[in-house]
Structures are given as structure tokens and as C-alpha cells.
Amino acid sequence: MSKSQITKVELEQALERILSGKTQRVDPSRKISVKAVEEEAGLGDGSAYYYKDIINKIKDSAVRHSPKVKSKNLHEAKIASLRERLNKEIKLKEKYRDQIQEMKEQLATMASQHNQLALMIQQYQYKIVALESKSVQYIKEK
């Protein structure tokens, strides 16, 4: 391996150590920056600027692991969980609304049947009274 390839590998490994929090030379809570990666790799200032792809990785990692992004991700996660909960509540409300509608229909059917049965009872009571009066008349005639 050439010296530039070794330097590039050292920078990549240093970035990985910083991202994983298992640093050897810099404070793990230190903000991710090109200088921090250079120090972790044991290289001099400005060594990383010869490797544009490494610089881009460092900057992307710094943006992804910044406190603002973490808090934004927490807020987004909270919002997502609340939206999911809201959707469940809406579905549950619709389910209960459907159940109420079904029960109202059942109640209407039962009320109709009750009225029909009450009418039939009344009609049979009239028939019983009529038959009793006929039987009383029949007994009187004999």
C-alpha cells in the first residue's frame, strides 16, 4: 500500500471510531469535524484535505450526528408515534360508530317485534273474552 492509501485508511478508521464512540485520542463527546478525525488518526492538521471523499464523509457524518438532527429525529419519531396512535383512535371510533348503528337497527327491529307481539296478545285477549262470553251464554242457554 502506498502512503496516501494508508493515510486514507487511517482517516476512515478514525471516523468510524469517533462515530462508534470508541475513540483513542480525542474525547468521545467531541463534535465531529475534520480536525477531530485528523487528531484521532494521529495525523497533522490539513492532512485530510487531500482526500475529498473523506472530507465529504466527515461532513455528512457531522450533519447526521449533530444534536439538532438528533432532536429533530426525536421529534419526528414522537410525531410519527402520535400520528399512529391518532389513526388507531380514528379506526376505533369508526368501529364503535358502526357498532352503534348496528345496535340501533337491532333495537328498531326488536321494538317492531315487541309491538307486533303486544298487538297479538291484545287480539288474543279479545278472542278469549269473546269465547268466554259465548261459553257463558251457551251455559246459560242449557
- Over residues 74-119, the pLDDT tens digits come to 788 889 999 999 999 999 999 999 999 999 999 999 999 999 999 9
| Chain position carrying cell 472530507 | 55
pLDDT of 90 reads: 97
Q: In the structure grid, which three cell numbers stand for residue 17, read together?
A: 471510531
Contact 3, 50 (CB under 8 A): no
Task: Please count the helices (runs of H) and the strands (runs of E) in the chain.
Answer: 4, 0
Q: Is 1 helix (H, G, I), strand (E, B) or coil?
A: coil
Q: Is the pLDDT of residue 135 over 90?
A: no
Q: Is the pLDDT of residue 48 over 90?
A: no
pTM: 0.47
Q: In the structure grid, which three cell numbers stand for residue 65, read together?
A: 450526528
CB atoms within 10 A of CB 58: 25
pLDDT of 70 reads: 60
